[in-house]
Amino acid sequence: MARFDDRVALVTGGGSGIGRAISRRLATDGAKVAVADITGDGADETVALVEEAGGTAISVPCDVTVLDDCTNAVATIDREWGRLDFAVANAGIVGFGGVDDVEDEDFNEVLDVDLYGVFRTAKAALPLIKRSGGGALVFMSSVEGLVGSSFLPAYCAAKTGLLGFCRSFAHEAGPYGIRVNCVNPGFTKSPMTEPLGMDDYWIERTPLGRIGQTEDVAGVVAFLCSDDADFVTGQWLAVDGGLTSIR
């Protein structure tokens, strides 16, 4: 048996990048995966890739800035499979600019997706995971939530806020057999980072001497969902090639 046989997962932002890699990894390990994304075409492409590899997945439309969308996504999972074991809150955006340049609406837009969107995902998923007998939630933070960078004020604030939310929610969810953890990727090759063209910069600053791949992050998420992490909750884990060990 694959380690996630008979388990069901929700992955937000599953239509590309890290979310796609997570969806594929969980499905490879046997889980049925609901790929949630604001972009339907991207989610459909991920589902097709999962199915081509012999896995099971469905596409679920979801804008994490809308609680009803998150609730409806979980309701679809309930109708389709009758349970939910893992929720990976991965959907995110990034906004650049100094504090003197960023408008309130731009700052709030990043928080709405990267922080409040995780809260909405967790809120929507919690009842069904409880009913399923427990499970795991994984929040996608960032190394920017650990050390911070210039010209990313909203992104750093949101990703740091997830660490506090994770610790608080882990206490609330623990009695129900639900574990809550954060993953903090470093610079990772994905559609979000590719336009930046900063590979050489990050390679020079990363002890392992390479750019992170989406599969690197997906493997850690799979670990945190698995029984191997059965006594791990309220924690964060950097997947950064050692970047934050020297910053």
Give the active site residues: 155
Give me 116's structure tokens. Answer: 């409040």
Closest CA to 141 of 166, 123, 120: 166
CA–CA distance, 112 with 109 (Å, rounded to integer)? 5
Task: Spell out the residues 6+ positions from residue 214 whose beta carbon is closer than 8 angstroms to its own.
Answer: 17, 18, 20, 21, 22, 188, 189, 190
CA–CA distance, 151 with 100 (Å, rounded to integer)? 10
In Å, what is the CA distance from 196 to each residue of 94, 201, 207, 212, 242?
12, 11, 21, 14, 21
Instruction: Give the DSSP letter of residue 28.
Output: H
Task: Spell out the residues 6+ positions from residue 167 whose beta carbon is closer than 8 angstroms to its own.
Answer: 234
Give me 151's structure tokens. Answer: 């010209």
Phi, psi dihedral angles at 99 (to 5 degrees): -60, -35
Give me 63's structure tokens. Answer: 């804008």
